Amino acid sequence: MENCESSPSALDPHKDSAFYLDAAKYWEQVPPTVDGMLGGLSKISDVDLKGSQRFLNSLYQVVGCPGKERALDGGAGIGRVTQGFLMKNFQVVDLVEQDKHFLDQAQQALASTNHRGKFFNLGLQKFTPETSVYDVIWVQWVLGHLTDEDLVSFLKRCKLGLKPKGLIVIKENLTSSGEVEMDHTDSSVTRPPSLLVDLIQKAGLRVIKEQKQQRFPSDLYEVRMFALEPV
């Protein structure tokens, strides 16, 4: 799932079953298109993908950089990030997405390409990657659909899915208010940077590089990318 909508109101989201069910119901009604994935903001897709590519390039300039064999697209939606970015950098890209009609669209779109990889029809709160198989796990605009507890648990499982020198990259909306803000429309939260970093640390990871996404409309949340490695 992807979404980059502007600010919602704040509310404690941690009523787990309703939180996840309401989100699933929302996304079931969203058309499997780039505009649907980006909340009507398909115009930012190219800027987003280019920003991601620049950030990934910067990670390969450091000592002990990850390999380029296999990546995972977490919350893959219709495969926008896989096709527009990850496949240009990795030989194999696996996709995990809980909404079946999005995943079906991704499979259809990728069938005519040179895509190699698996498709997992699961929410991230239920997904466990294979052990030590991924060079990069890319998770974008989806962690707001996880409770704090499930986010930490998911990152811990992802950590075990990394190869030596592998990295997790998170790309997320962040609040500037210092508070968690709740979007009742799609049943998601947007966290402040301090909370996101705290949850990352609780998962036994550390931020090795952080960068703001440039050239997004000023009325959107700030979007940042975080490269994470196991402590």
- Indicate the average pLDDT of the chain: 93
Phi, psi of 230 (to 5 degrees): -60, 145
9 — pLDDT class (breaks 50, 70, 90):
very low
For residue 3, pLDDT over 60 is answered with no
40 assigned binding-site residue: no
Q: What is the pLDDT of residues 152-198, one digit of tens each?
A: 999 999 999 999 999 999 999 999 999 999 999 999 999 999 999 99
70 assigned binding-site residue: no
Q: What is the pLDDT of residues 41-58, one digit of tens each?
A: 999 999 999 999 999 999
Nearest to 124 by CA among 141, 107, 104, 108: 141
Q: What is the pLDDT of residues 61-95, one digit of tens each?
A: 986 799 999 999 999 999 999 999 999 999 999 99
Domain boundaries, the chain: 27-124+134-216
Q: What percent of the chain has pLDDT over 90?
A: 90
- Overall pTM surpassing 0.85 (yes/no): yes
Helix (H, G, I), strand (E, B) or coil at 46: helix
12 — pLDDT class (breaks 50, 70, 90):
very low
Q: Which residues pair with 138 in a beta bridge?
A: 73, 169
Q: Which residues pair with 183 in a beta bridge?
A: 188
Looking at domain 27-124+134-216, its CATH class is alpha beta
80 assigned binding-site residue: yes
